[in-house]
Amino acid sequence: MDGVGAARRHGTKKKQMITVEVKKEIIQKHEGGMRVADLARCYNKSTSTICTILKKKEKIRWLDAAKGVTRVSKQRPPVLEDVEKLLLVWLNEKQLAGDIVTENIICEKAKALYTDLVARRPAVPAGNEEGFKASRGWFYNFKRRSGIHSVVRQGEAASLDAQAAEAFAAEFQALIVSECYLPQQVFNCNETGLFWRKMPKRTYITAEENALLGHKPMKDHLTLLFCANASGDFKVKPLLVYHSENPRAFKKCKVQKSQLNVMWRSNSKAWVTRILFIEWINEVFGPAVKKYLLEKKLPLKVLLIMDNGPAHPPGLEDNLLEEFEFIKVKFLPPNTTPLLQPMDQQVISNFKKLYAKALFQQCFEVTDGTNLTLREFWKNHFHIVHCLKIINKAWDGVTKKTLNSAWRKLWSDCVLDYDLEGFAQEQEPPIVNEIVSLGTTLGLDMNEDDIQELMEERGQELTTDELMDLNLVQQQEFMKEISSEEEEEKKMEESLTSNEIREMLKMWERVQNVVEKHHPNKAVAMRAMNLFNDNAMSHFREILKRKQKQLSLDRFLAKLTQKS
């Protein structure tokens, strides 16, 4: 007891970290029906800490096993857990690259990973390790455990369907004429993955005699959703999905997400999901195009063309807010997007070239004006906030001409006379030449083919070693993020005094009394106040209780110390 009293007297308090196992236990109990407040009391933690753990449950589960695998049979080979873990990392990369992923493709990759991993392990006695078949039963259970339903496209061939593209183009033209759509009213959106810290594979820093970043492309990536109209005079704020909700660079640079030139969202895979897409439609696209059309004094009607990707499910119009019912959605047929989709007709590729150019320009400006080497700048001074500025600059650099000309295959009548063949030839080389020139100035060994490789997303099949490295990086990032957010929650709680909380609770009570007395609809007012009380004010009551309990314990320990 004297040791505890001494610790109290010296103001020291041992930090108690919550283990991953305990976090998983908390998640399991909450999913079993246990309330947040009860979990907080059971584990002697704040409700905010419990909420932070629950918010990160996908990431916590991914630390030790494949996402969603919470109950594993004893007969299940450990190597199969590693296969599924790496398979999810591989699926993430495929989704970012926009590659079509079917059941057969996933099963073939799973078998290849299994064979590779088994070959790396010590020999197993005969009869103890059966071959892995990647059967339909396994695939069904893997899909159920991991929640990848929205990623897999059922029965879709990888070959392009020119006949379907031609039929859709004719149908689209008829719709434009019958509904009298103007180019200002017709929009297209599409996602793309961006490896925002990636350099060409052959890039060398000649002055340092070593390959940049271990001669491996950086795997730090994000997903962007771009959207613009057929006239090319209006770009909608992009949706950006990253693996972290609050990167450390945001705090360092005092970033306010609401002030960004993108709609910032996050999930563990940095994917655009159905929920995020619907949020973007209702919170960004709808209000923006409505304001644009009203300012242009154009009829309030919009046609949005997009592919049939996992994040764009049929019935999307049913999820639009009532005020945006003027928005109509039309989906491109499967396997026609490279042939028809405007964003795939040099728009996204042009953005990526402009991004690469701005990135190399920043590398040159920083290293030329300081003593930093390119390696030092790249490793220690280039972060996501810099990336956001470059994204904004590159998207601004995509011209009206580029956006309008992208519709030449689907709606040639809306395209202004830009001498399209000459336009296509004259637009790309100068940007590529400028990037190569900047790279040469920086002392990098690169050519036009390297820049083309940098733009390409498809065909970059990751090896098992690369998948293992990427999985490890993700785990480390998740642990850092979870620990960082828990620390922030703890600091916020400690910064509030008991008197401040009491004053806040008194103010809330006064607000309730005034609302209850004067609001015309008592039932509505009571529901709103109860909701706020349960979801917000109860958090501060719990903090006050813990502070009072701690104060009582401190006083008790102080009396014991005095007696001793």
Q: Which of 81-90, 436-445, 456-465, 525-534 has the lowest mean pLDDT?
A: 456-465
For the record, the structure tokens of 62 come out as: 């991914």
28: Cα separation from own chain's centroid? 25
Q: How confident is the model at residue 9, as a pLDDT?
A: 43
Q: Which neighbouring-strand residues pair with 194? A: 222
Of the segments 46-50, 69-73, 186-190, 274-278, which one has the largest average pLDDT value?
186-190
Give the ranges where 147-285 is alpha helix by DSSP (H).
Answer: 162-179, 248-252, 274-280
Q: How confident is the model at residue 466, as a pLDDT?
A: 75
Q: How confident is the model at residue 126, as a pLDDT?
A: 41
In angstroms and rounded to an integer, the radius of gyration of the C-alpha atoms of the chain is 28
pLDDT value at 153 more than 60: no
For the record, the structure tokens of 522 come out as: 């008592």
**φ and ψ of 405, to 5 deg:** -65, -20
Q: How confident is the model at residue 376, as a pLDDT?
A: 77
**Architecture of domain 162-462 in this structure:** 2-Layer Sandwich (3.30)
Residues 83-121: pLDDT tens digits? 888 888 888 767 655 566 778 888 888 998 998 888 887
Of the segments 55-64, 352-361, 444-453, which one has the largest average pLDDT value?
352-361
Q: Which of 398-412, 494-508, 549-563 has the lowest mean pLDDT?
A: 549-563
Residues 18-77: pLDDT tens digits? 777 788 888 888 888 888 888 888 888 877 788 878 877 766 655 544 433 444 444 567
pLDDT, averaged across the chain: 77
Q: How confident is the model at residue 207, as a pLDDT?
A: 38
**8 Å CB contact between 91 and 149:** no
Portion of the chain with pLDDT greater than 90, in percent: 25
- What average pLDDT does the segment 346-357 reach? 90
Q: Which amino acid is at 190?
A: N
Residues 477-510: pLDDT tens digits? 566 656 666 666 666 667 778 888 888 889 988 9
pLDDT value at 239 more than 50: yes
Confidence label for 2 from pLDDT (cuts 50, 70 and 90): very low
Q: How confident is the model at residue 362, as a pLDDT?
A: 82
Portion of the chain with pLDDT greater than 70, in percent: 72
Q: Is the pTM of this model over 0.85?
A: no
Q: How confident is the model at residue 493, as a pLDDT?
A: 67
Gap between the Cα atoms of 430 and 353, Å rounded? 10
Q: How confident is the model at residue 216, as a pLDDT?
A: 38
Parallel, antiparallel, or unpaired for β 302-306 and 186-194? Answer: parallel
- What average pLDDT does the segment 368-383 reach? 76
- What average pLDDT does the segment 205-230 reach? 61
Q: How confident is the model at residue 209, as a pLDDT?
A: 33
**8 Å CB contact between 443 and 374:** yes
Q: How confident is the model at residue 76, as a pLDDT?
A: 64
Q: Coil, helix or strand for 255?
A: coil
Q: How confident is the model at residue 265, as a pLDDT?
A: 94
For the record, the structure tokens of 428 come out as: 């790309």
